[in-house]
Chain A
Amino acid sequence: MAIKKFAVAAYDDEEVLFPAVKKVRSSGYKIHDVYTPFAVHGLDEAMGLKGTDLHIAGFIYGLCGTSTAVGFISWIFTSDWPIIYGGKPHFALPAWIPITFELTVLFAAVGMTLTFCYLNQIMPGVKKHIFHPRQSDDMFVMAIEINSHMSEQETVAFLKATGAKEVNVQVAEAGWWYGRWDKKEPYELAAGN
C-alpha cells in the first residue's frame, strides 16, 4: 500500500493523447500510467515501454506440455504397464501425436493466461484506483505522480496546455489491494474523491 498524489489529465481522443504523451515525456515528467478504453496501438512505444515477453513464456509452457505428454505416455506404455493394443508397438509415437499436441496447447494457453494475470496483477477480488470513471468508456487518462520536488499548480497548468479536457489532482493508492468495488476505501473518503 502506497498512497500518493497524482496529477490526472483526461483526453477525449487518442489523437490528442499521443502528442500529449510526447510533450509530457520530453518535458521531463515521469508518467505513472496511461489508461485507455481499448488497445491504442503505438501508445506503449510512445510511452517508452518495452515490448512484452509473454509469448516467450507461452513457448516455454508449450514445451513443458509436449515433454509432459511424451514422457508420461512413454513411461506408462514402455515401463509401468506395457500392453499391446491393436498390434501397435509399446513405443507407438505416431499414435501419441494427438494427445501430445493437445497438452502442448493446453499448457501454453493456461500458463500464458495465468502469467498474464500475474503480470497485470488482475484476479477476482483485486481492486485498483480508478482515476476517471470514463477511462474504460471514452476517456484517455494520463496520471503523473507528484512528488515533493514538484509544483502541483505547475504540473496541472502544464497538463491543461497539452489539450486535456479535464485536469485534477487526486490522492490515490498506487498499487492494488483486495477489496469490494461497491465500497469506498478509507483514503478515498478522507480525500473526498
Chain B
Amino acid sequence: MNTLTTTFVRRLRQRDESAWFELWEVFGPVLRRQLTKWGGGSIGLETVRDLSQETLAQLSKSIDRFDPDRGARFSTWLLAIAKHALGDEIDRRMALKRGSGRRAASLDPRYMGAMLSIDPDQAYEQNVFCAKVYAAIRATEAESEFVHFQVYRMRVLDGMSGKDIARQLDISEPTVSRYANKVRGALRERLEEMMQRFSFTNEEAMEADRAGLSSEDKMFDEAVADIYHQQNQLLVDDEQFLTGNKAN
C-alpha cells in the first residue's frame, strides 16, 4: 500500500470521525446501489440506508483486523463488508421470524480471508471507480476559488461553450480558459491523490490511466464529465427505484 492509503487506514483505525465521514460520503452511494441490487426490491429505502450505515459500522469493527498483505482490492474489501452487513440483516430477520431469540450472526474474521473469493461485477467496480473520481471533483471544488470552479463546471460538466460562459460572467474567453485550466490542474492532482488513497493494490491505482484520465486535456474533460453524469444519476435512480417515484 502507498503512504496515502496507509495514512488513511491509520486514521480509520484511530477512529478519526472525519475519515469515517469521508468514507461514507465517497462510497455511501455505491454501497446503497449494491445493497439495492442485492435486495432485489425486497428491502425498502430505509433498510438500504440503515444497511449502508451498518456496513460502515461493521467496517469500523473490522478495520483493526485488516491485513493489507492479503493483496485484496479496496473495492472487494468494501463489498465483503457490505455483503456481511446484508447477511446479518437477513439472519436477524429470520431469527425474528422464527421467534427463537437467536442472536444475529456477527462479522467473522474468516470473512476477511474469504473476501478474495467474492467476485464483484463490473458495474460495481465501475461505481467504485466513479466514486473516487467524484471525490476528487468534490475536493477540487473545496479548494478552488468559487468562480474558477463554476467556470470549469459550466465548461466541462455542463458542456457550455467558452463564449457563453464569458458572456454569463462578463469575462473574456481567454480568462475562461485560464480558470478552467487552473481547476483542471488541481483536479488532476486531487484525482491522483484519491486514487492512491482508496486503492490497496497497484492495479486499482492504475485504473485512472486506463479510463483515459491521464490523457490530454480534452480526453480528460470528457472522461470527467462522463463520470460526473454517471455518479450524479446513481443516487437519484436508486432513490426513485426504492420510493417508486418515477415522476422524473
Please say whether chains A and B are actual partners in one complex. Answer: no
Interface residues of A (CB under 8 A from B): none
Interface residues of B (CB under 8 A from A): none
